[in-house]
Chains A and B, each alone.
Chain A
Amino acid sequence: MTASGMSRTRLLRGRARVIAVVASAILVSLIVVGILLTTVLPSSLLSSSARVAKAETTVTVGDQGAPVTVSVPPGWVTQWSPLQGHTVVVTSPDRVLTISISATGADSARAFADASRDAGAIDGPLTEELGSGLSVMHARSGDDALIAAVGVPDGARSATVVARAAAEDLEQYLPAVGQILDGLHVPS
C-alpha cells in the first residue's frame, strides 16, 4: 500500500467514526425523547389538565356522537391526556385511589377480556346489574387493582375501568369505586 493510499484509508476511518458518533448521539436523543414522551411528558400534560371538581360534575370521554359520561363527585380530581383521548383519569381527593376510564367500541364482555389480557392474570369475574341499569363485569387484578367493563346489557359499546390503589388500601376504597361505576353512563 502506498503512502497516499494509507492516508486515504485513515481519512475514511475518521469519517466513519464521526458518522458513528453522530448516529449514536441521534439514537440516544431519540431514546431520551421517547422516554420523555411516554413518561414525563404525559404526566406533565395530565398534571397540567388536572381539575378538582367543586361539585358533582359530569365529564365525557370517547366518541362525541355516543360518549361515555362519568359523574365525578366533589373533591375528586379529573385528569385528561391529549395523547389518550378516549381515557379520563379520576383520582380520589386524598389521591389514594386512581380510576382510569376508557371508552371502547366493544361490548363489555369483549372489553373486559381485552382489559384482563392487558392486566395479566386476574380472579374470576363477577357480573352484576347496577342501579343505573348498566351491567358491569369486574374482577380483582392482583392486590392493588380492579378491572371492570360497564355497558348496556347486550350493548355494542362499553367503558373499561381500571382502579388502582395500594394493596392495603384497595378494599377500603371499593365503595368509592362502586360510586364511580354507579355514575357511569354508556350508550348502547
Chain B
Amino acid sequence: MSRRVKIATLAAVGLALSACSAPAPDASWAPPEWPTQTLTVTTMPAHLDADAFSSLPAFRLRNDDVGVQARWIELPGPASFDTKVTEIIRAFIDARVAASGVAYTPAAVPPGSGLGDRGCISGSTNRTASDILADPLLGPEDEAGVAVVCDIVVATGPYLGQRIRAVSSDSTDTTVVVYANTSTGEAATADKLWAEDALVALHSEIVNLVRRDTDSLGVSVQPPDEAGRALMSAALAQTVVTPDGTLVVPVAAGFTSPELRSLGITPTTERLVIGVPGGLAANLLTPLGADLLLVAVAGGQFTPPATVPAGREPVDCTFVPCVALTYDDGPSELTPGILDELAKRHASATFFITGERARFNVELLKRTLGEGHLVENHTFSHPNLPRLSPARIAAEIEDTNAAILAAAGVPARVFRPPYGEYSDMVLQTAQMAAILWDVDSLDYAKVSDDVVLSRTVDLPQPGSIVLQHDIHSNTARTAGAVYDGLLDRGFVLVNLEQLFNGELPTSGVIRRLPSGF
C-alpha cells in the first residue's frame, strides 16, 4: 500500500468516527420535578353559622326504641337535595336497626323533651364522637345508638352544602357532604364532584406528598387496594369547596400504600386534611364539581329557593312522626288567629268547613288554601247524617262541595260527618272517604284550656288525627301552645294529604294513619 493510500484511509476512518459522534444536547430540556408539589396539608374550613339559614326547613328526629337522634335541614318545596339527605339519614338509621334488632317506626317522645329546637347546631360535626353521643341535644338516649348531626359548610350562589355526620356508640363514624344546586335542582354527594379517575390520582398525589419527606426515588404509585379505595372514597365524599378555590379533602386515619410501608412509614394515625388547589383539581372534576368551584371562587351570595307553604312540603310520615290537626265547623272569626299560629311554626292543618260558613268567608278560605292548608267537606248545615234521607245526605255533601269550589276554586276530596256519625248509606251517598279522628280535644265540651292543651299535646301518637274546632275560643287560645307542645315531642304538623303521603283516601272510614302505611 502506498503512503498516499494509507493517509487517505486514515482520513476516511477519522471522518467516519467524527460523523458518528453522539447527538447534540438539547439545551432547552429541563429535568422533571417531583410530582405533587401542589397538594397541601391544611385544616378543615370553618362551618357556616346555622342561624343564618333559619328560613330553611329544619328537622330533628329521636327514636328511643331504636336508639337514634338526628338533625338536618332541607330545602323548601320538593327537592332532590331533600331526598338525598333523607336517604343518607335513613341508611344510618337502617344500620342501627340492623345492629339493634329493633324495627324502625316513627316515634314521638314525651312532652318536655325539647325537640322543637331543630336543624343543625353550628360546629356539631366537628365535635368529638364521645362529645356528640353524650350531648342530649345531639346524642341518642343513654348514649346508646346513633347520633346524626349536621353543619352547613358551603352556601354560595345557587349552591348549598350540608355536612352530615353519623356517630354510633359502636364506634362507627361516617361523614358525607351533600350539595344542592338550587338553580338546576341537582343534588349530589361530594364524591360526585370528582371524575372517575380522581380517586386514584389523588391517592397517588398524597403518597407522593408523604414520601417526598424521605429520600425516596419513587414517582408513580400503585392503584389503591380495596381498603385504600374505601378510605379515599369516604374522603372525597366529604369534599368542601372553599372561596379561595381549594377543594379540602379530609382523609381519615389509616392512609397507607405499599410504597409508604416499604419506606417504614406507618399508616396515618390522625385525619390528614388535604388541600387540592383548583388548578390541579380542574382536570379531575365533573361538570358539577367544576361549576361549584367556579361559583365558590366568584363568592356570590347564597340564593335559596322561594319558600313553600308548609302544607305543600313533601313529608314522609313513615320516617318522621306526623300528627294531623283538624279543625271543624269553621271558618270563624277565630280562624285567622289559628292560621297565624300555624304560619309562625311553618305547620299545616286541615279545615273541615260547613257550606253555610263557606259562603260568607270567601277571602278567609282563599287565605287558608293559599297558606297550604286543606279545606274539606263538613256538610252544609252540620246535621246528623244517618238520620237523613239519601237525597238530603247527597244535598248536604254536594252543596258544600259546590260552595268550597265556588269560594276557593278547588274541590273537596274527603268529608267528615258531623259528630262522627255515619252509616253505610252515608258513605255510599257521599262517595268520599270519611275522615274521623283518634284524638278528641274535647274543646266543644267547655273544658279548661289546660285540658285542651294536655289532651291535644299528650295523647297523639305518630299518625294521629286530632279533632278540634276553630269556633271555640279555648282552641284559639291554646293553638300556639298546642303546636309548640307537639313540636316539643318531635312531631311534624301536617295536613291530611301529607299524612297520607300525597294521596288522600278515596273511600272508607279513616281514624288515623294505619300502622304499616
Residues in chain A within 8 A of chain B (CB atoms): 44, 46-48, 50, 52, 75, 77, 79, 91-97, 126-133, 135-136, 138, 148, 172-179, 181-182
Write 5 A-B pairs (CB below 8 A) sorted by A numbering.
A52-B23, A129-B222, A175-B34, A176-B32, A179-B219
Given contacts A177-B217, A179-B219, contact A47 B32 (CB under 8 A): no
What is the CB-to-nearest-CB distance from A74 to chain B, in angstroms, rounded to a whole number? 10
Are A97 and B31 CB-contacts (below 8 A) given A126-B214, A133-B222? yes
**Would you call A94 and B25 a contact (CB within 8 A)?**
yes
In the complex, what distance in Å separates the CA atom of A127 from the CA atom of B214? 11
Q: Is the CB of A129 within 8 A of B217?
A: no
As a 0/1 sequence over residues 12 to 23 of chain B, the CB contacts with chain A under 8 angstroms (1 = contact) are 000001001111
Residues in A whose Cβ lies below 8 Å from that of B23: 50, 52, 77
| Nearest 10 pairs of A and B residues by beta carbon | A131-B220, A129-B262, A93-B29, A93-B26, A48-B20, A95-B25, A178-B217, A178-B219, A128-B262, A176-B31
Chain B residues with Cβ under 8 A from A127's Cβ?
262
Further contacts, 4 of them, CB under 8 A, given A133-B258, A178-B217: A50-B23, A128-B216, A130-B259, A131-B222
State whether B221 touches A131 (Cβ < 8 A).
yes
B219:A131 contact, CB within 8 angstroms: yes
B10 lies within 8 A of chain A by Cβ:
no
Q: Across the interface, which residues of B come within 8 angstroms of A75, CB to CB? A: 26, 29
DSSP class of A's interface residues: helix, strand, loop or mixed? mixed
Partner of A181, one of B29, B211, B217, B258: B217
Closest to A176 in B: B31
Q: In the assembly, what is the distance between CA of A168 and CA of B219, in Å?
A: 22
The count of chain B contact residues (Cβ–Cβ below 8 Å) is: 30
Known contacts: A77-B22, A77-B23. The answer to whether A130 contacts B218 by CB under 8 A is yes
CB of B215 within 8 Å of the partner chain? yes
Q: Is B46 engaged at the interface, CB distance under 8 Å to the other chain?
A: no
Residue contact B220 to A132, C-beta cutoff 8 Å: yes
A131, B17: Cβ atoms closer than 8 Å? no
Q: Which residues on B sit within 8 Å (CB–CB) of A133?
A: 222, 258
Shortest CB distance A101–B (Å): 14
CA distance A50 to B217 in the complex (A): 26
Of B25, B33, B217, B261, which is in contact with the most chain A CB atoms at under 10 Å from its CB? B217
Name the one of B30, B204, B259 contacting A129, with C-beta atoms under 8 angstroms.
B259
Is B27 an interface residue, CB under 8 A from the partner?
yes
With a cutoff of 8 Å between Cβ atoms, the chain A residues found around residue B211 in the complex are 128
A135 touches B22 (CB 8 A): no
Tally of A-B Cβ pairs under 8 angstroms: 90
A44 to B220, CA, bound (A): 35
Inter-subunit contact A128/B218 (CB<8 Å)? yes
Give the complex CA separation of A101 and B370 in angstroms: 82
CB contact between A173 and one of B25, B27, B31 (< 8 Å): that residue: B31
Taking a contact as CB atoms under 8 Å apart, the answer to whether A178 and B25 are in contact is no
Give the docked Cα–Cα distance between A44 and B19 (Å): 10
For residue B459, give the distance in angstroms from its CB to the closest CB of chain A: 67
Within 8 Å CB of B263, what residues of A? 126, 128
User: In whole angstroms, what is the CA distance A181 to B21 when docked?
Assistant: 27
Q: Kindly state the separation between the CA atoms of A95 and B32 in the bound complex, as whole angstroms.
A: 14
Contacts of B217 in A (CB 8 A): 128, 136, 138, 148, 174, 177-178, 181
Q: For A178, list chain B residues within 8 Å (CB).
A: 34, 216-219
Contact, CB under 8 Å: B17 / A44: yes
Q: Tell me, rounded to whole Å, the shortest Cβ–Cβ distance linking A108 to chain B.
A: 13
Q: Which B residue sits closest to A45, measured CB to CB?
A: B20
Task: Return chain A residues, CB-CB under 8 Å to B218.
Answer: 128-131, 178, 181-182
Out of B25, B26, B29, B219, name the residue touching A182 (CB < 8 Å).
B219
Q: By the criterion CB–CB under 8 Å, are B31 and A175 in contact? A: yes
Roughly how many angstroms separate A148 CA and B217 CA in the complex, as a whole number?
10
Instruction: List the B side residues contacting A177 at CB < 8 Å.
Output: 217
Q: Cα distance A161–B365 when bound, in Å?
A: 89
**A77: nearest residue on chain B (CB-CB)?**
B23
When C-beta atoms are compared, the residue in chain B nearest to A95 turns out to be B25
Query: Measured between alpha carbons, how far is A163 from B21 in the docked complex, in Å?
Result: 22
Residue contact B219 to A175, C-beta cutoff 8 Å: yes
Are B22 and A50 interface neighbours, CB within 8 A? yes
* A173→B32 CA distance, assembly (Å): 8
Given the complex, which residues of B lie within 8 Å of A148, measured CB to CB?
A: 217
A47-B20, A47-B21, A77-B23 known; A130 and B32 CB under 8 Å? no
| Neighbouring A residues of B29 by C-beta, 8 Å | 75, 92-94
Closest residue of chain A to B23 (Cβ to Cβ) is: A52
Q: How far is the CA of A126 from the CA of B262 in the complex (A)?
A: 10
A181 to B216, CA, bound (A): 11
Known: A128-B262, A175-B31. A79 touches B22 (CB 8 A): yes
- Report the Cα distance A148→B29, complex, angstroms: 25
Give min CB distance, B280 to chain A, whole Å: 18
B216: which A residues are within 8 A, CB to CB?
126, 128, 178
How far, in angstroms, from A128 to B33 measured CA to CA in the complex?
A: 19
Q: Which residues of B contact A93 (CB under 8 A)?
A: 25-26, 29
Complex CA–CA separation, A178 to B33 (angstroms):
10
CB-CB < 8 A to A128: which residues of B? 211, 216-218, 259, 262-263
* Measured CA separation A97–B32 after assembly (Å): 12
Max chain B C-beta neighbours (<10 A), residue from A44, A97, A130, A173: A130
Residue from A47, A126, A131 in contact with B22 in the complex, judged by beta carbons closer than 8 Å: A47
